[in-house]
Chain A
Amino acid sequence: MPKASLFIPCFVDQLAPEVGLDTVRLLRRIGYEVEFRSEQTCCGQPAFNTGYWNDARPIAERFVNIFRSAEVVVCPSGSCTTMVRNFYPELLAGTSLEQEAAQLGQRVYEFSEFLVKVAQVTDLGAAFPHKVAVHDSCHGLRELHLKQESRELLRHVRGVELVEMAYSEDCCGFGGTFAAKFNMISAAMGDAKAGYIETSGAEYVTASDPSCLMHIGGILRRRNSKVRTIHLSGILAQTAASAERHPRPAAGGAR
């Protein structure tokens, strides 16, 4: 049985565990043995993005050591995957782990990327009879060059109606510490995005990055919107059977 090692983003671990659980469910559904190395905490992105490279470096080194022996690493977040694949080489340049990091980056995959490009599965046997719009998370789009993968996966979901929102590639405004430091700009960007989502007629908006969804979800709630957020794994984990037995809560959750 092929093995996949989970890389669970720090905030997913603490604030959106269902994303991790659904990822596990799906990997097992397609025949992978899933492991979770519990020494992991964070990839270092918050410090790296804020310029604190000397603080991020030991955390990155720690990460490389934890996953050194993993064959394949799957991460339900484009931004965290980007950190490891695109930025670890620069962050760890000149250290003894520089090569290891570059090699590890080739084995770490964003969740939708893994399903479509590595496992080569596009039909997860899912059912989700709702109108869904896809927000193109920036890191996935511009750093990992992912766009069609999530749409391909969604096209095979029974009952789903994919609607394209205007400006799906516009940044939602989260940007990590940007959301706190420049919260008025961040909220305005989220507000613009929420408006386009509502106009699209979607009932749910999905993305590959749970951080985008936390941000968009909060803004939608503030607008008393009927639109809900749901991570891609959350949609794919739904089957006709589970949808009946476990209907999604109607109240606005950061799902």
Chain B
Amino acid sequence: MSTAAREFLRHAAEKSADLVHRGVIRKGIDQYNAAAGRGRARFSDWEAARQKCYEIKWEAVNNLDRYLLEFERRVKERGGHVFWAENSEQARQYVAGVATSRGVKKIVKSKSMVSEEIQLAPALEKLGIKVVETDLGEYIVQLRNEPPYHIVTPAMHLSRADIAALFKEKLGDVDTDDPPQLVAAARRSLRRDFFSAEMGISGANFLVADAGMIALTTNEGNGRLSTSIPRIHLVLSGIEKVIPRLQDLATLWPVLATSGTGQPITCYNTLIGGPRGPNEIDGPEEFHVVLVDNGRSQLLAEVGEREVLHCVRCGACINACPVFRTVGGHTYGTTYMGPIGSVLTPHLRGLPDFNHLSYASSLCGACTDACPVKIDLHHHLLHNRRDAVNAAARPLTERLAFKMWRWTVGNPGRFSFAGGVMRAGMRVLQALKLDGTLLDPARAWTKNHPSPPPPPKSFRELWGKQNGAR
């Protein structure tokens, strides 16, 4: 078992037993479900909207080189820089290179999951560059020294009391749990950073090929300030974020907002294509886009899994997932959590160490129903499991167990016999009151499921008696 798998099991056990935590998550998800339900009802045809989004992303991903090159050309025409990073290290080095060569001491960052994925902040801190998270949820978890709990709502596991205590300790000038005052405290603190930072880093929700602009979706205005005030704007984006046309956003923006938060559309949908233009009154002097591969081109090559790259990072699958609801976002121990994380992480970080995430699912399919771009998420989990087995990344005991299973169910006589032995064994354990204890080979099941005595005869035996043996 990999270290990551062991850690996952440990945290999952802790969180599964934490009824308070489960209650907080349930409440948050209920609110989201109500809002998202209202949001979907605003469409005259939500299913057609999903299909449209699917087709836009299909076209984009299946013509990835063409649209990325178009995007790059237009950005450069405006005087922007585009850097293609094969992996986390190259991406970090480029950012560090730009920052150090331009004398950057402080960076304000609006939300970017890719920056988490490439572990940018620690690398920059080592160089003496301060990185300030400006998305309120990210800011809060940064103060707590925690990773984001959810890709869209990073602090959903915290109560206002938690946040009040945190701000009182770290910011000093606030002693209240009133949300508007807490937000005002964060605004005061972060405003100083917006105006003193030399560089702003953002992610990108979409890279628009025919306009050569990034599309950035935010509510708070931190993404706006980070990309307007500092003299350098640097964008981190996965290569799969490209879309063909600006017009596609007429569908993608409302769908993303609906699935992400239940809003008809997010407060600020910004399009940025370069540094400030010659006739413009403000804006950064430099514009850089770092296109990050980090395993995505490999996923592209797996044709059966390619549609996983259609993901728009809305978080709807995470909210729909009963496993997430039970163990929470930190348990996964990865940048991307929930169903998309469980599907994607083995591809980005390796099947041997991370296939356990694809197994940590009951395959209920709620994620697939929720996905606004129609990714068949739970079937991709199945595919990951198949690939893990074929790559011999599963424990020997499991492989042997299924060889045993195959031998047993391959013949009705063996199957019947094995079933009889199993039931007899259960009866013995129950009679000795050993069911559920360490001596019970099925204790993983029986310890949580006290069972009545097993039936004395199987269906086939009873049928044989009723209808004459066949």
Q: Please give the distance in Å from A155's CB to the nearest CB on chain B.
A: 26
On whether the beta carbons of A51 and B382 are closer than 8 Å, the reply is: yes
In-complex Cβ contact of B448 among A40, A141, A178, A187 (8 A): A187
> Tally of A-B residue pairs with Cβ under 8 A?
190
Q: Which residues of A contact B (CB under 8 A)?
A: 8, 10, 12-18, 20-21, 24, 36, 38-42, 44, 46-55, 58-59, 62, 138-139, 141-143, 169-171, 173-190, 192, 214-215, 217-219, 221-222, 251-254
On whether the beta carbons of B448 and A192 are closer than 8 Å, the reply is: no
Q: Please give the distance in Å from A101's CB to the nearest CB on chain B.
A: 17
Can you give 25 contacting A-B residue pairs, CB < 8 Å? A15-B455, A17-B455, A20-B462, A21-B462, A36-B460, A36-B467, A38-B464, A41-B409, A49-B385, A50-B402, A51-B384, A58-B406, A142-B369, A143-B365, A176-B362, A182-B12, A183-B447, A184-B12, A184-B13, A185-B12, A185-B323, A188-B326, A215-B449, A222-B449, A251-B452
Given contacts A138-B366, A174-B362, 11 further A-B contacts (CB under 8 A): A36-B460, A41-B415, A47-B405, A49-B363, A51-B389, A142-B364, A142-B366, A142-B369, A169-B366, A175-B363, A222-B450
On whether the beta carbons of B322 and A173 are closer than 8 Å, the reply is: yes
Residues of A with C-beta under 8 A to B388: 51
On whether the beta carbons of B452 and A252 are closer than 8 Å, the reply is: yes
Which B residue's beta carbon lies closest to that of A15? B454
Which B residue's beta carbon lies closest to that of A181? B359
Residues of A with C-beta under 8 A to B450: 218, 221-222
Residues of A with C-beta under 8 A to B403: 55
> Does B62 touch A at the CB level, under 8 Å?
no
Q: Please give the distance in Å from A23's CB to the nearest CB on chain B.
A: 9
In-complex Cβ contact of B386 among A10, A38, A39, A51 (8 A): A51
Q: Please give the distance in Å from A159's CB to the nearest CB on chain B.
A: 26
Q: Please give the distance in Å from A116's CB to the nearest CB on chain B.
A: 22
Secondary structure at the B interface, as helix, strand, loop or mixed, is helix
On whether the beta carbons of A13 and B327 are closer than 8 Å, the reply is: no
A54 to B384, CA, bound (A): 14
On whether the beta carbons of A62 and B326 are closer than 8 Å, the reply is: no
On whether the beta carbons of B389 and A40 are closer than 8 Å, the reply is: no
Secondary structure at the A interface, as helix, strand, loop or mixed, is helix
Residues of B with C-beta under 8 A to A180: 444-445
Q: Which of B367-401 contact A (CB under 8 A)?
A: 368-369, 382, 384-390, 394, 398-399
Residues of A with C-beta under 8 A to B464: 38
Q: Please give the distance in Å from B359's CB to the nearest CB on chain A.
A: 6
A47 to B399, CA, bound (A): 10
On whether the beta carbons of B365 and A138 are closer than 8 Å, the reply is: yes
Residues of A with C-beta under 8 A to B386: 51, 53
> Does B423 touch A at the CB level, under 8 Å?
yes
A127 to B422, CA, bound (A): 35
Residues of A with C-beta under 8 A to B364: 138, 142, 171, 175
On whether the beta carbons of A175 and B361 are closer than 8 Å, the reply is: yes
Q: Please give the distance in Å from B466's CB to the nearest CB on chain A.
A: 8
Which B residue's beta carbon lies closest to that of A62? B410
A195 to B176, CA, bound (A): 35
Given the interface pairs A10-B409, A15-B455, A36-B463, the reply to whether A52 lies near B402 with Cβ below 8 Å is: yes
Residues of B with C-beta under 8 A to A20: 459, 462-463
> What are the 10 tightest A-B residue pairs by CB atom distance, in nearest-first order?
A218-B449, A175-B362, A51-B385, A171-B364, A17-B459, A142-B365, A188-B16, A14-B419, A20-B459, A51-B389
On whether the beta carbons of A59 and B412 are closer than 8 Å, the reply is: no
In-complex Cβ contact of B457 among A17, A40, A219 (8 A): A17
A14 to B415, CA, bound (A): 10
Residues of B with C-beta under 8 A to A39: 412
Which A residue's beta carbon lies closest to that of B411? A41
On whether the beta carbons of A188 and B406 are closer than 8 Å, the reply is: no
A38 to B468, CA, bound (A): 12
> Does B184 touch A at the CB level, under 8 Å?
no
Which of the listed residues B13, B362, B386 has the most CB atoms from chain A within 10 Å of its own CB? B362
Which A residue's beta carbon lies closest to that of B8? A182
In-complex Cβ contact of B405 among A13, A53, A55, A187 (8 A): A55
Residues of B with C-beta under 8 A to A222: 448-450
Residues of A with C-beta under 8 A to B433: none
On whether the beta carbons of A38 and B323 are closer than 8 Å, the reply is: no
A38 to B408, CA, bound (A): 15
On whether the beta carbons of A185 and B360 are closer than 8 Å, the reply is: yes
Q: Please give the distance in Å from A70's CB to the nearest CB on chain B.
A: 14
Q: Please give the distance in Å from A160's CB to the nearest CB on chain B.
A: 24
In-complex Cβ contact of B368 among A24, A142, A173, A217 (8 A): A142
On whether the beta carbons of A41 and B445 are closer than 8 Å, the reply is: no
Residues of A with C-beta under 8 A to B12: 182, 184-185
On whether the beta carbons of B17 and A188 are closer than 8 Å, the reply is: yes
On whether the beta carbons of A192 and B326 are closer than 8 Å, the reply is: yes
Which A residue's beta carbon lies closest to that of B449? A218
Residues of B with C-beta under 8 A to A52: 389, 399, 402
On whether the beta carbons of B17 and A184 are closer than 8 Å, the reply is: yes
Q: Please give the distance in Å from A174's CB to the nearest CB on chain B.
A: 6
> Does B192 touch A at the CB level, under 8 Å?
no
Contact indicator per residue, chain B 432-470, by CB within 8 Å of chain A (1) or not (0): 000000000000110111111011011110111001001
In-complex Cβ contact of A179 among B366, B445, B455 (8 A): B445
Q: Please give the distance in Å from A119's CB to the nearest CB on chain B.
A: 21
A154 to B378, CA, bound (A): 31
A19 to B422, CA, bound (A): 19
In-complex Cβ contact of A17 among B363, B412, B445, B458 (8 A): B458
